[in-house]
Chain A
Amino acid sequence: MTSWQPVIGFEVHIELATNSKMFCGCPADHFGKPPNTQTCPVCLGLPGALPVPNAKAIEWCIKLGLALGCQINLTSKFDRKNYFYPDLPKGYQISQYDQPFCHHGELLGHKITRVHLEEDTGKLLHQAGKTLIDFNRSGVPLVEVVTEPDFESVQDSDVFLKELQSIIRTLKISAADMEKGSMRLEANISVRPTNSADLPNYKVEIKNVNSFRFIKKAIEFEITRQSRLLESGVNPKQETRGFSETKGETVGQRSKEAAHDYRYFPEPDIPPIQFTTEQIETWRSQLPKLPSRIRQDLLNLGLSENYVKIIAADEKMFNEFMKKPSKANADSIVNKRPSKSESSFPSSEDTRSVAERVIAANPKAIADIKAGKIQVMGFLLGQIKKELGNIDVPLTQKLINVIIASC
């Protein structure tokens, strides 16, 4: 019997936390703002409006590229990616095509193809049979990190994605919060016989997954699904699939047999961008100490791997430790943590989505709680606990209240 091996690559989108949008002066922080209150002629794509690039966003994109060991193109440019979608008011997205700011990087032994800068789209809100468009997010700076398809295990993928998030947070260029959409993952997955080195002739793209736990589940599901298809002699279809959190399965969205023709061409409204080597080196010298380096330093100071993991992941703890880098101090810092088991809790985003599901499955509980029957809360907590194991009870309770209030 053939044994199968996954081939996985990633596209990660990161919304930058700059003050203003990519090509206009509107605020970039759009989360939870009333619809269409942070717009202007430029991000609405009104006639005659022109994009002016945000220098800070360019600097941050390049710093991320440098942190990922990329080479930087000293001459770069923006391009237009032409396609129709109602959340794209100009009919094209300003992105980068053949001269991205950064290329050929490496992280944890995985190759980074490119790191480029583009603009986010608006958001469609489907309500009561109508579709509304909110342009607050239109034009928010978006960095895209593309990896080579060189991941062969779910575990490797997970470590890589968490390291990437940690680097982004260390650079302080984005909250990289998946629940709020400031970090978005897309995985390309295919499966080949273990003894083969060729790329399979298809790939399945998994989109719109908003937590590390779910992307892991989605990848695992896909590997099994595709291996089974191959075993039965069927070549999996090239397509885009989403992940259903309730079913724990991926579901087909649209077939991607014919590649979209985006008719890229250089954005004539923005002149090509030139950097000097000095400029790039200045930015490189401004990079903070990256997580891998911090971990190595801590190991060198004689801390256990377990302590290194805990202290390196928390900026406050790390700073506290560095004031007096000794084993005793490490002990005291790690033990001072409010709850030693905190790190074993599922993330708030995971808790939230499970809570949403549990609540949705128990409509009566909503009515009961709204009617003041507090004891139902215990039942809901129990249901959530059944799925997630150990949970942070006060946080989960808060989430339940928030979800029910919005029902």
Chain B
Amino acid sequence: MNKLSLIHARDGLKKRKFSSVELVKSCLDQIVKHDKKIHAFLHINSEALSQAQKADVTLPLGGIPVAVKDNFLTIGMPTTASSKVLDEYLPHYESTVTQKLIEAGAIILGKTNMDAWAHGSSTETSDYGSTKNPWNTDYLPGGSSGGSAAAIAADMCTAAIGSETAGSIRQPAAWCGATGFKPTYGRVSRYGVIAMASSTDSPGPITKTVEDAALLTQIIAGHDPFDATTSPLPVPTYSISMHLRAKHLRIGIPKEYLDVMQPEAKKLVLEAVNKLTELGHKVEETSLIHPKYSIGVYTIVQRSEVSSNLARYDGIRYGRDRTYFGDEAKRRIMLGTYALSSGYYDQYYSKAQKLRTLIIQDFHSAFHKYDLLIDPASPGPALKVGATANEPMFGEMQDVLVEPSSIAGLTGVSIPCGFISGLPISFGLIGTQFSESLVLQIANQFQLATNWHLQKPNI
């Protein structure tokens, strides 16, 4: 039962084939059985079963167990963003995303592991120990939403929530063989999400299928009076709009992106592209600003915002002083402080913003010609545990392919398209801002024609 997709689990609950208690229990059993090894969860909701007993299955997510990344504030459950600075911190208010999930009837199953403060692409920087990849526990799950992606891959929950600043949903989803969907910046509220880089943070789902991602996004998206950067545009009913059969789309493959890929992974991505052609779409090679330039832009902007966002953990509140910051957070605070310092601002931050504008314009002209672009979330499969040691730019190198679309605030999806030595490979699609429906449609067409996303690890 814990293996079911969100759509199937919901049908089962509505048709009373099983109860929410049984569904939640099967997930909890899976966690008990395997989470010592995987370490996807930092905290399990002790009320999950009693909440399941009271579940109203007529609600859109009635009785569905959802795992939530530990940077979303949840009343009654510790929220640490995997940093010991916030050890045992109990929030006073609920994040908008989890509030919407609860109102839709979901059961928050627990809080998932992540890179501390979401600083990383491996989950290795978590102060509570790394998460392992369910496909092979010698390998990393990716990050920063590694716990959520691993929980999905290991069937420890029905659906999961992550957040992406640049790749933190799509990359761990890719490494764990899950579906990761990053909505447009401003489509989903950041209120109550511990800020990493405020100008790119985007909450989104990590799920077993595109259909699941559509349903979850539809529930968590929308204008929030508590987040001035959310869009007032109405939220389409993605679970319906994703089934519209867009035909003969023009899809571009940026050759600069393929160049960054490892040959074997690139081969699988090109096979997926062939599948899109078979489905009737017109795919052609195009050219974009090389993604390597985004690394610099993203690094400067993100470190600068991080240095300011982490200033509130000043040792006066929250019980723990700043010595509890890990090395990665310290590095980022120092680099960001430096980049914003007088005399350096023009050289770094200001220049980065100018280049950011150029990248946005580049995408604008690309989306003038193409409906969607191919954008794999990762250059290759998961890397081995320990790969981040002495690699302070590990995340940026791993996320090179999704940094451009993140700094441009676009929407994108990452879906499985094959395996290399038993490790999942994914390809991705990105669309212009607020083109979620189109991205989901094509990703769904691909999943209907393939079964890569249905493969399960042998844990």
**Chain A positions near chain B (C-beta within 8 angstroms):** 41, 45-53, 80, 82, 84, 86, 89-92, 261, 263-265, 268-271
Contacts and interface: CB of A to CB of B under 8 A. Distances in A.
B73 A48 contact: yes
Given A41-B92, A52-B227, A92 B311 contact: yes
Which A-B residue pairs are the 4 nearest by beta carbons? Answer: A91-B311, A263-B340, A268-B199, A268-B198
A52 B226 CA distance: 6
B149 interface: no
What class of interface size applies to chain B in its complex with A? 35 or more
Contact of A50 (B91, B226, B341, B345): B226
A139 to B, nearest CB: 14
Interface of B: 71-73, 79, 81, 86, 89, 91-93, 95, 190-195, 197-199, 225-229, 304-305, 307-308, 310-312, 314, 316-317, 337, 340-342, 345, 349
B314 A84 contact: yes
B225 A52 contact: yes
Contacts of B349: 265
Nearest to A78: B228
Nearest to B340: A263
A90 B91 CA distance: 16
Contacts of A92: 308, 311
Given A82-B340, A263-B340, A50 B312 contact: no
A172 to B, nearest CB: 27
A41 B191 CA distance: 10
Given A47-B194, A48-B194, A82-B340, 5 more contacts: A46-B91, A47-B79, A47-B89, A268-B197, A270-B229
A53 B86 contact: no
A324 B292 CA distance: 77
Contacts of A53: 228
Contacts of B72: 48
Nearest to B353: A266
Contact of B312 (A45, A261, A263, A271): A45
B92 A52 contact: no
Given A48-B192, A52-B227, A86 B316 contact: yes
A264 B341 CA distance: 8
A269 B228 contact: yes
Nearest to A53: B228
B228 A265 contact: no
B73 A47 contact: yes
Given A89-B312, A91-B314, A47 B91 contact: yes
A265 B304 contact: yes
Nearest to A89: B312
B190 A50 contact: yes
Contacts of A263: 307-308, 337, 340-342, 345
